[in-house]
A = this chain, B = another copy of it.
Amino acid sequence: MSDAPRLRILVVGASGELGRAIVAELSPRHEIITAGSKSGDIRIDIADPESVAAGLTAAGPLDAVACAAGAVNFTPLGAIAPASIAQSVYGLGLANKLMGQVNLTLAARDILREEGSITLIAGVLADDVIVAGSSASMVNGALESFVRAAAIELPRGLRINAVSPTVFEESMAAYGPFFRGYDPVPVLRAARAFSKSIEGRQTGQVYKVI
């Protein structure tokens, strides 16, 4: 087989547990541009559509956009009242983790090189639910279905997949109490799913890392 090409990859949310693992996995073989709301080569706040568009333009030519960023609220259902999106507990997840990544996809659609890829972060709560997790479940379920739908409409051979991991071993100190009985995975396994998405040729897939 011929050598695989060296790709130019933007990693959004590069400073977090998952982002660092993605960078560690891909940087030996590819050129990585890091982005985050507070650190990185480029500042991108995914909740701000103008920041997303400006950040992707600033990044220059790209073969792949990988997102490891996205905020949601964890609130017991009993404490959530009916409200408009702007006023709702669900507003953060919808505007940040969901529409932030959707907007990243739409902006990447217009600037990625031919046959480039987009990889989003979803999560196990789409299927396997916890108390106070209804916003995360909603957003992750939305993202999984969105990538299936977007995959069939992306132009120029562009691809899109989602990585949907369970809780990470490295995050159990912080999140363990919310995920009693879940088998945590090393964050490296989620980073490998990003590699499969970016360095493979599949599209419209949800890689469950559980």
Question: Does A155 touch B at the CB level, under 8 Å?
Answer: yes
Interface residues of A in 121-139 (CB under 8 A from B): 125-127, 129-134, 136-139
Residues of B contacting A78 with CB < 8 Å?
A: 109, 153, 155
On whether the beta carbons of A95 and B106 are closer than 8 Å, the reply is: no
- Given A81-B106, A83-B49, A84-B99: A137 touches B149 (CB 8 Å cut-off): yes
The interface centre, meaning the residue of A95, A102, A136, A155 with most chain B CB atoms within 10 A of its CB, is: A102
On whether the beta carbons of A145 and B150 are closer than 8 Å, the reply is: no
Number of interface residues of A (CB under 8 A): 55
Residues of B contacting A82 with CB < 8 Å?
A: 49, 52-53, 103-104, 106-107
Question: A residues within 8 Å of B by Cβ?
Answer: 49, 52-53, 76-78, 80-88, 90, 94-95, 98-99, 102-104, 106-107, 109, 125-127, 129-134, 136-146, 148-155, 204
